[in-house]
Structure 1
Amino acid sequence: MTSSQDPYQGDDAPHARDEQWPQPPPYPPPPPPQKPQPSNQILSIIGFVCAAVAVLFIPILFGLAGIVLGIVGHTRGEPLGKWAAVAGGVGMVLGIVLGAIIVGSMSS
């Protein structure tokens, strides 16, 4: 006969539940955010190339492309991004002025 002071028997015992369902390990902390490498400035480089091409060919298209690529590169942390955007704008203006001078000299 069992008395009310006997320890738990069977599956209802507290120690049996602890052994059957162990606690999961704690989650590791998330890794710190990584900054882009300064050598990875692809968008800024392409923006500078577009700025140079804008001086001679289709200044509105290539100038705007240089501005947009420079801005996107700047928002992604590229140090030369803002300068690529400035160069795109300058290349666009120079290309438009150069084109107007060439067209004006041809019509005279």
Structure 2
Amino acid sequence: MTSPHDPPPGDDRYTQQGQWSQQQPPYPQPQAQSTPVLSIIGFICAAVALLFIPLLFGIAGIVLGIVGHTRGETLGKWAAIASAVTMIAGMVLGYLVLTSMS
């Protein structure tokens, strides 16, 4: 007869000494939320791309947003979209300024 503290048959967490081993459960543990650093930098690049070197800062913001999104940052997708929009708007604004000056 088995006691109620015995493991079920075939359970591999039961050691030879008759005690339960301290293995981690097979499912992932929830992790603490971290600050979305890459997404924040992507939004900063988006703001800068509107007025200064839109092609450089726009592409940098898009890349940072995509990398942030693949790392699990929820704002990464929006940082990439905002960077693309402000890159195009900055290029149009630069074109309008240059054509009005000549």
Match of 1:43 among 38, 47, 52: 38
Distance 2:32 2:62 in 1: 20
Aligned length: 84
What are structure 2's unaligned runs of at least 5 residues?
A: 1-15
Distance 2:46 2:31 in 1: 26
**Percent of aligned positions with the same letter in both sequences?**
63
Other-structure match for 2:97: 102
- Report the residue type matching 1:81 in the other structure: G
Other-structure match for 2:79: 84
How has the CA–CA distance of structure 1 residues 36 and 53 changed in structure 2, closer, same or farther, with 3 Å as cutoff?
farther
Displacement of 1:40: 1.2
What are structure 1's unaligned runs of at least 5 residues?
A: 1-22
Matches within 5 A, 1:1-108: 26=21, 28-29=23-24, 32-35=28-31, 37=33, 39-107=34-102
The answer to whether the Cα contact below 8 Å between 1:36 and 1:77 also exists between their aligned partners in 2 is: no
RMSD of equivalent CA atoms: 2.1
In the TM superposition, structure 1's runs of 4+ consecutive aligned residues that sit over 3 Å from their partners are: 23-27, 33-36
Distance 2:94 2:48 in 1: 13
Displacement of 1:58: 0.4
SS in structure 1 at match of 2:50: helix
TM norm structure 2: 0.72
Larger fraction in helix:
1
* Rg comparison, structure with higher value: 1
